[in-house]
Structure 1
Amino acid sequence: MSYGLYDHHRRYRRRVWARVGKAALWLILLGGVAGFSYLVGVEQLKSREGSMQEELAAMIAAKDKAERRAQQLQQIAQTQEVRANELEIRLQREVPGGELAKLTELMARKLAEGVNPERMAFVIEQTSNPRSCVRPETKRFVLPTPIYKGANTQVAFADGTIIVTGEGVPARNEGGNPEAWYDPTKPVKIRFTDAAGKVQETEGVLPLTHKLITADKEVRLTVGAGARSFVEVTGEICRFP
């Protein structure tokens, strides 16, 4: 009887310990699963944090880039505004308005119609308000050449305050030899000397025109070819201003 009772108690303890072992095994298994889940969660959090930091850095870089671009656009806008103001000022200064615009349009139309621009310039040059002038006077002199530098090679206007002289290219005879008189088909040099000794010179094929201001007078001189060796100078003297 005592043997059977002992065996019963031993089997009972075995079952108890088996249950305890199973419970402990389950606890260990659950602890492992929980630990693994915790580690996985930590790694996910770390990965998520790293991704968020990268995203934040990218957003900050994009913000800085946008601010720099905005500053560049602002500078470009300011530069364009300054250029626009300069162009507006230049346009107002250079594009004619009022009566000048009408005259510009008229000249453009006349040029398109084939009017000679030199003739138009001459007409404009001769156009002025009424002036107080004396009767034009014409004088002539022998135009010097490298071969002839004799007498009667200058004339005076405005009470002797303006001296006109010059130099021409010698004409050539049929044999090609130079003559003493100038060739009116070649350019000449005409010099104008005022009372102060100041010399002005104009050059070209005759006729030539020149204007001088001396004291209270405006002197307009036209130099044209005359008889052989001579040039004729017409002087118009007007009050100035």
Structure 2
Amino acid sequence: MGLGRYDYEHRYRRRFWSGFGKLAFFALILLGSGLFAYQMGIEQLKGRDVALREEVAQLSRQKAELELLAGQMQHAARAAENRAHELEARLAREVPTGPLATLTQLVRKRLDDGLDAQRLGFVIENAQKPRSCQPAESKRFVLSTPLVKSGSRSASFANGAVTVTGEGESARNAQGQPEAWYDPTEPVTIRITAHGGEEEVATGLLPLHHSMVVDQTEHRFTVAAGSRSFVEVTADRCPFP
């Protein structure tokens, strides 16, 4: 009797502890799984937090770059607007209107027709209100050259008050040898001398234009190429000023 009861209690305790051990084992497994899952969740949250922080930082950088770009574009827009206003004002100042536009078109037409710009400028520069001028005089004389300097090589105007002389480069023949007459395609030198000894010099290609004031009288000269060896001089006199 004692042995049978002992065996029964022993088996009972062994089943109890065996069941408890299994339960504890499963509890440990569940606890371990829970802890593992919890840890994984924590790591995922940490990773997501880091990613979100990086995304926020990147968006902040992009926002700053966009704000800078917007500022630059606004500055460029203001600069372009100011430039447009400047060009508009310059256009209003420089584009001729009214009588000036008509004169500009006329000058352009005359230049297109082949009129010498220097001659046209001289006419415009010397255009004045009508004055009490003497009729123009026209004379001609032989222009001196390095080969020929003797003879009558001058012209006098205003009853001898002003004398015009000059010299030019010798023309050359087909063999390149100098001739006695001047070359009208080369620059010439014209000397205008008043009766008191005052002298003024004009140098350049023909036609030449020059003005000289003598005794409150303005003498205006135009010197152009004439027939071979000659230059044609036209002079007028007007009170000065």
Question: Shorter chain as normaliser: what TM range?
Answer: 0.7 to 0.9
Output the CA distance in 2 between the equivalents of 1:63 and 1:161: 87
| 2:201 matched residue in structure 1 | 199
Q: How does 1:56-75 map to 2 (within 5 A)?
A: 56-75=56-75
Of the structure 1 ranges 139-148 and 170-179, higher mean CA displacement relative to structure 2 is found in 170-179
Matched length: 234
Asked whether the 8 Å contact 2:219–2:236 carries over to 1, the reply is: yes
Task: Structure 2 unaligned segments of length 5 or more: list them.
Answer: none
Asked whether the 8 Å contact 2:143–2:230 carries over to 1, the reply is: yes
Output the CA distance in 1 between the equivalents of 2:138 and 2:68: 78
Q: Note closer, same or farther for the CA distance 1:92–1:179 as it changes in structure 2 (3 Å cut).
A: same
Q: Note closer, same or farther for the CA distance 1:125–1:143 as it changes in structure 2 (3 Å cut).
A: same
Of the structure 1 ranges 57-66 and 118-127, higher mean CA displacement relative to structure 2 is found in 118-127
| 1:125 matched residue in structure 2 | 123
Q: Note closer, same or farther for the CA distance 1:185–1:212 as it changes in structure 2 (3 Å cut).
A: closer
Measure how far apart 1:36 and its partner are.
0.8
Q: Note closer, same or farther for the CA distance 1:118–1:175 as it changes in structure 2 (3 Å cut).
A: closer
Q: Please give the secondary structure, in 2, of the residue aligned with 1:167.
A: strand
Measure how far apart 1:210 and its partner are.
0.6
| 1:21 matched residue in structure 2 | 21
| 1:116 matched residue in structure 2 | 113
Q: Note closer, same or farther for the CA distance 1:55–1:186 as it changes in structure 2 (3 Å cut).
A: closer
Asked whether the 8 Å contact 1:162–1:193 carries over to 2, the reply is: yes
| 2:188 matched residue in structure 1 | 189
Q: Does 1:102 align with 2:99?
A: no
Q: Please give the secondary structure, in 1, of the residue aligned with 2:135.
A: coil
% of aligned pairs identical? Answer: 42
Kindly provide the CA deviation profile for residues 75-112 of structure 1, in whole angstroms up to 9, marking residues without a partner as x: 4334423432442243233321122223334566x57x
Q: Does 1:138 align with 2:134?
A: no
Measure how far apart 1:143 and its partner are.
1.6
| 2:213 matched residue in structure 1 | 214
TM-score by length of 1: 0.73
TM-score by length of 2: 0.73
Asked whether the 8 Å contact 2:142–2:231 carries over to 1, the reply is: yes
Measure how far apart 1:125 and its partner are.
3.1
Output the CA distance in 2 between the equivalents of 1:18 and 1:58: 59
Q: Please give the secondary structure, in 2, of the residue aligned with 1:59.
A: helix
Asked whether the 8 Å contact 2:190–2:203 carries over to 1, the reply is: yes
Q: Note closer, same or farther for the CA distance 1:192–1:75 as it changes in structure 2 (3 Å cut).
A: farther
Measure how far apart 1:3 and its partner are.
3.3
Output the CA distance in 1 between the equivalents of 2:225 and 2:62: 83
- Please report the RMSD computed on the Cα atoms of aligned residues, expressed in angstroms: 4.0
